[in-house]
């Protein structure tokens, strides 16, 4: 019984720590900023015209938003005026998704601890 009480207090500590971690991860869900799915990156490519300067190393550079949808990757070119905005919103989306994954993982850990607590606290009528 004494051992159970020690274990119980450890489990309660674990649970408190998980609640704190959960609160931290949930912050992303309470934001209001728009999210844009995708990744912004710079592309450097050759156009294929034999006379073009890109054949001599001056590659065509453009910034794109890469969005995968049903397994297909769509590249949307970004006008310079929207670059900062799209960078921020796509980063916000990635942060949101990372936080969501954390919420899910922490939730699973919580259930494990909660079930252990139940096992210790239960008694027969």
Tell me if 52 contacts Zn ion by CB under 5 A. yes
Tell me if 44 contacts Zn ion by CB under 5 A. no
Tell me if 47 contacts Zn ion by CB under 5 A. yes
Tell me if 58 contacts Zn ion by CB under 5 A. no
Which has the closest alpha carbon to 109: 4, 10, 14, 8?
A: 14
3-state secondary structure of 125: coil
DSSP label at residue 50:
T
Long-range contacts, 104-112 (Cβ 8 Å, 24+): 106/18, 106/21, 106/22, 106/25, 107/22, 109/18, 110/15, 110/18, 110/19, 110/22
Beta bridge partners of 76: 65
Q: Which stretch binds Zn ion (CB under 5 A): 11-19, 50-58, 74-82, 99-107?
A: 50-58
Convert residues 79-98 into a mask of x (bound to Zn ion by CB under 5 A) and - (unbound). Answer: --------------------
Q: Which stretch binds Zn ion (CB under 5 A): 49-57, 68-76, 81-89, 107-115?
A: 49-57
Tell me if 59 contacts Zn ion by CB under 5 A. no
Among 54, 64, 83, 103, binds Zn ion (CB under 5 A): 54
Where along the sequence are the contacts to Zn ion (CB under 5 A)?
47, 52, 54
């Amino acid at each position: 019984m004494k051992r159970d009480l020690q274990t119980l207090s450890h489990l309660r500590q674990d649970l408190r720590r998980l609640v704190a971690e959960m609160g931290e991860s949930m912050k992303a869900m309470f934001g209001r900023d728009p999210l844009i799915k995708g990744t912004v990156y710079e592309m450097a490519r050759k156009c294929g015209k034999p006379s073009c300067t890109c054949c001599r190393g001056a590659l065509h550079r453009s910034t794109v938003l890469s969005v995968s949808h049903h397994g297909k990757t769509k590249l949307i070119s970004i006008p310079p005026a929207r670059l900062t905005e799209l960078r921020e919103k796509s980063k916000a989306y990635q942060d949101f998704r990372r936080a969501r994954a954390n919420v899910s993982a922490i939730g699973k850990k919580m259930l494990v601890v909660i079930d252990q607590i139940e096992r210790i606290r239960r008694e027969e009528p």
